[in-house]
Amino acid sequence: MSGKSYKKGYRFEREIFNLFSSAGFYVILSAGSHGVFDLVCVKDGVVFGIQCKYNNHLNKREEMAMKLAFKQYGIIPLYAFRKPREPLVLKDVINNRIIDVNDLPDLPKRYANVFIRKIVEKNGKEGDRK
């Protein structure tokens, strides 16, 4: 990645970091972007993983890795992108839906049931434990 592209990508990740932080999320930035997600955001016990792309080039392997993280860990995968000189788009990878950034403060409420259902599926019902 060229220095100019890297700087644009880094600035975009910081923009998304600040957007989620200002909406009340605890946000972790994955330095170097070598994992599935660039950001991990937590609010009200619901965990979101965000892949940030300044140029809207999410490849199939990255998308499949995000879906696998949901399947294995219950992390709700979101994709944030912006094409040059266009507005930010935030997309739910599982349901293939666009999320209005104005809805970020209430996003955990929308996804709580999905998250809890996935965690119970992975760990069993609390009454099943001995």
- What confidence tens digit (pLDDT) does each residue in 34-88 have? 789 999 999 999 999 999 988 778 899 999 999 999 988 889 999 999 887 889 9
Whole-angstrom distance, CA of residue 130 vs CA of residue 124: 11
Distance (Å, rounded) from C-alpha 77 to C-alpha 81?
Answer: 13
pLDDT digits (tens, 9 = 90+) for 103-124: 999 999 998 887 777 777 777 7
Q: Terminal CA-to-CA distance of the chain, rounded, Å?
A: 51
99 neighbors 81 (Cβ within 8 angstroms): no
Degrees, nearest 5: CA angle 48-27-3: 100
